[in-house]
Amino acid sequence: MQVIENDLIKEKVYIEKLKSDLTVMFIPRRNTKKKYITFGTNYGSMDEKFIIPGEKEITEVPDGVAHFLEHKLFEQENGHNSLDVLSSLGVNANAYTTNNHTAYLYECTNNFYEALDEFMNYIQSPYFTDENVEKEKGIINQEIGMYNDQPDWKVYLNALEALYVNNKVKLDPAGTVESVSKINKEILYTCYNNFYKLSNMAIVVVGDFDKDEIFDQINKRIIKNENTTIAKKVVEKEPEVINKKEIYEKMDVNIPLFILGIKDKIENDNSLNSSKLQIRKHIAIDIILDILIGNSSYLFNKLYDEGLIYSEFTSIYEYARDYSHILIQNQSFEYKKVVEEIKERINYLKENGIDNIEFERMKKKNYGMYVKEFENISDIGNNFMESYFKEINPFDFIDESQNIDKQYVERILKDIFIEDKMITSVIANK
């Protein structure tokens, strides 16, 4: 059993690889009534092309299969829906699909092990028929239609479309009505059998448990899975250039909604040193974004006082294998001027450097933000699950944020915040 500790925040994680090749991580939270578990697979909406073990030809499946699988696993051969069964036990269960992984989860105060029976059984026991697959298509198509009517979602997807030429990150994880129509039970079983292998999965548990008991209880509920060979994912090479400079669309919005996106370089080095460098870069970008457009920044207050924006900016740095980008979002009737002001401020910071006092203040702010992520048990569980598939350690954010210096942050500003790599996505009023 591997134990990783962080002395600064007095947290630890126990990691054990079971004989079945399933990785289990346990983060103890003493004197806490709530318990949380998530069971994830390293398979997401991007994984549409792969080579099945023993075959030479590439298998390609329609958009949206990973999300479709997430929906269908709840339905069992005995006619029960596992989500209903878990709810009847008083646990709050859910699931989600991202670009690079799929996860199933529940949170509770009581009946944890009773829920664990159903939880681990349905994830390991798929049941697909022609009839239940067809029925699910209507439900998913309604979900696709609902999201397509949301300006926030459309401006986000359009930003990714503008940033990426080939990378599948730009696709809606749910697929399209057309792609969903092509999904059948054979495709679902093919993807499940190739990616829902325990060697490609992980469990994270957070709560007040005896560590030996929780590992033992999970191990008892493993269904025999001898074949651990995983399909080889096929990823199209993504050029460094952006796809489109701007995407403009009209919807029912009161104030135009916009995103300024920045395409980052793709890091393909999987070494331990590289994972820490990725975390350092993430911290540097968080600091830059706070200095650039945070609520206390010069630019935010200038734009707000001039009436060019009416609310705070939202920003995010998203990355995983084969993609990496920064998104800055807000609303403005003068969005073009706001975007130009952001670019001018970036150039100013590049030429004049970052103020020492402001750097130290934002460094401390982000350290506090990383520490706060360890307060909520579901945040802890999701953080460790996502980090596991990214091959990084969440504790490193705490340590690296203490050590990062202004010179490194300024170098990241110059290396990544490049105008040729910037796009705008706009949703304007009809």
Instruction: Tell me the pLDDT tens digit for each residue of 219-274.
Output: 999 987 767 788 999 988 899 999 999 999 999 999 999 999 999 987 654 444 57
Predicted pLDDT of residue 267: 61
pLDDT mean over 6-20: 92
**CA distance readout (Å), 159 to 16, 156, 327, 428:** 40, 5, 8, 14
Backbone angles phi, psi at 238, to 5 degrees: -105, 125
Instruction: Tell me the pLDDT tens digit for each residue of 71-110.
Output: 999 998 888 899 999 999 999 999 999 999 999 999 999 9
338 near 307, Cβ under 8 Å? no
Predicted pLDDT of residue 79: 84
pLDDT mean over 286-296: 96
Query: How sure is the predictor about 320, in pLDDT bands with cuts at 50, 70 and 90?
Result: confident
Q: What's the pTM value of the predicted model, to 2 decimals?
A: 0.92
Strand 23-28, strand 201-207: pairing:
parallel
Every domain of the chain and the residues it spans: 2-233, 246-429
User: How many alpha carbons fall within 13 Å on the CB side of residue 181?
Assistant: 3
Q: Which residues contact 352 (CB under 8 A, 6 or more apart)?
A: none
pLDDT mean over 373-394: 93
Predicted pLDDT of residue 236: 86
- Residue in the structure block whose two tokens are 């007095």: 10
Task: Report the alpha-carbon angle 274-423-141, nearest 5.
Answer: 90
Predicted pLDDT of residue 250: 95
Report, at the CATH architecture level, how domain 2-233 is classified.
2-Layer Sandwich (3.30)
pLDDT mean over 375-382: 94
As a whole number, the mean pLDDT across the chain is: 93
**CA distance readout (Å), 415 to 124, 320, 353, 359:** 45, 19, 14, 18
Domain 246-429 -> CATH class: alpha beta
Given this chain, do its domains 2-233 and 246-429 carry the same CATH topology?
A: yes
Which structure tokens are listed for 234? 């096929």
Q: Among 28-42, 123-137, 193-207, 271-285, name the one with the lowest average pLDDT.
A: 271-285
Predicted pLDDT of residue 338: 98
Q: Among 60-69, 141-150, 324-333, name the one with the lowest average pLDDT.
A: 141-150
Query: How sure is the predictor about 8, in pLDDT bands with cuts at 50, 70 and 90?
Result: confident
What burial class does residue 394 get, using C-beta atoms within 10 Å of its C-beta: 0-12 exposed, 13-18 middle, 19+ buried? Answer: buried
Collapsed DSSP state (helix, strand, coil) of residue 350: helix
287 near 404, Cβ under 8 Å? yes
User: How many alpha carbons fall within 13 Å on the CB side of residue 399?
Assistant: 13
Residue 422 confidence (pLDDT) above 70: yes
pLDDT mean over 415-425: 97
Collapsed DSSP state (helix, strand, coil) of residue 167: coil
Residue 150 confidence (pLDDT) above 80: yes
Residue 208 confidence (pLDDT) above 60: yes
Predicted pLDDT of residue 271: 44
